[in-house]
Amino acid sequence: MIDLTLSEIAAATDGRLIPGSADAGLVVSGVADTDSRLVTPGDIFVAKPGEETDGHLFADAAVANGAALLIVERELAVAVPQIVVEDSVTALGALATEVITRVRALGRLRIVGITGSNGKTTTKNLLAAVLERVGETVSPKASFNNEVGAPITMLRVTNETRFLVAEMGASGIGEIARLIRMAKPDIGVVLKVGLAHAGEFGGIEATVTAKTEMVSELLPEDVAVLNLDDPRVAGMADATRARVLWFGLDDRATVRATDIVATASGTAFTLHLPDGSCAAVRFKVLGEHHVMNALAAAAAAHELGVEIDLIVDGLQSVSRAERWRMEPLGGRDDVSIINDAYNASPDSMSAAIRTLAQIGAERGRTIAVLGAMSELGDWAGEEHDRIGLQVVRLGIGRLVVVGPEARRMHITAINEGSWDGESVYFATADEAFAYLSAEIAPGDTVLVKSSNAAGLRLLGDRLGELYA
């Protein structure tokens, strides 16, 4: 974070400063966090009330870890300065806005905002890997993309930062717009609109409205990077004043991929840019569907003036999408475990199963270990049915369904009528692990896929360790 005095932070957050023994002119430049365990000397601790606990209860731990300042909603008996605000999350956003505004005034910082139902974190990682080759780049850790995580990322910006890559998620209309008010992008990227979180949004059209917020506030001198292959995203061109840069596999896209070949070691393709340049890319991230994320990252980087050789170098340097996202594990006895159980929507689940069918066919038997897809609301039953059918029709060798919320996939696969015992169901991950430990054979390729809430990422880790 940039240097700010206690009084400047209090003014930015509209809070009441209680300096204690410190002077109001004391300079603070540490990063902010809402987790006291992550606080290091000089940091700002933001005490955020939660559904299960209250951050104020951990203020003493934050001070013990070296917090230089607390932002709180009620005055505490602590030995460090504190700023009392009405709402700590709102104050966190206001502080991020102040920092971004000051750094923006220096004329160096360029901001890229990324949203979409799937692929935000992967695209963020790919773009950051490219931009880091050009200048200081700040991007979110993990999936810091909400009203808390996004401003925490923004507060890591310094006067030397050239690029901020902001992942912007939402579970309702207005949430992306709120993040954009903190840090308006020069380039807004929309990847895909699907059924992820459709239950929270209230339907696909509400999802479209929410994601459109990424480009609706862009200025004529800004750029909207849009997926030409997704009709819902392509329609957003009518909602922005910005210049539109299309990416996709469609021949009309100005940033596109051709000659795509997916294998167990990654995906090869030819990258084409608007200036007519092209280059071969040997992309290590598993799954042909991640090529679209690579194209989005390449499009944004190209608009920021990055040469194609650096774009390719950055893309090729990324070996996995993110922890628990198409993460290759195992290796012993030629067993390959793909742990993709951090998140799951109908689109990402379908893409992962297609990848399993593609790369497993060249190795041996394929096993899909699947859990529930969360936050689908009224679409849950139908979408779990569709996945069960897809597993059968793609010829996956064995389906292992885990958890009562996902059992419908197992029933649907059985009812398809083409299998005899190839689908099994277990209520718990421990039961599934015991079965798989005895079932997996040399040469098998195993996909573990579910929403985070299903907890199968830990099952994937256990299988990876078993076959390491």
Q: Quote the pLDDT of residue 455.
A: 84
One domain for residues 300 and 438: no
What are the tens digits of pLDDT across the range 266-295? Answer: 899 999 999 999 999 999 998 888 999 999
One domain for residues 313 and 331: no
Q: Quote the pLDDT of residue 323.
A: 76
Residue ranges for the known binding site for ATP are 116-122
Domain with 57, as residue range(s), is 4-87
Q: First vs last Cα of the chain: how many Å apart?
A: 40
Phi, psi of 164 (to 5 degrees): -115, 120
One domain for residues 457 and 413: yes
Q: DSSP letter at 209?
A: H
Tokens, residue 296: 């989005």
Task: Please report whether residue 92 resides in a domain.
Answer: no
317, 352, 367 — which closes off a domain? 317
d(CA 203, CA 205): 6
What are the tens digits of pLDDT across the range 393-432? Answer: 999 999 999 999 999 999 999 988 666 678 999 999 999 9
One domain for residues 120 and 74: no
Helix, coil or strand: residue 301:
helix
One domain for residues 56 and 80: yes
How many domains would you assign to the chain? Answer: 3
d(CA 163, CA 297): 13
One domain for residues 245 and 391: no
Residue ranges for the known binding site are 116-122
- The series of mean pLDDT values per 10 residues for the chain, 468 residues long, is 96 95 88 92 93 90 96 95 96 97 97 93 95 97 83 96 94 90 97 70 80 95 98 97 98 97 89 97 90 97 98 93 81 92 88 90 88 86 94 94 95 80 93 96 95 90 94
One domain for residues 123 and 248: yes
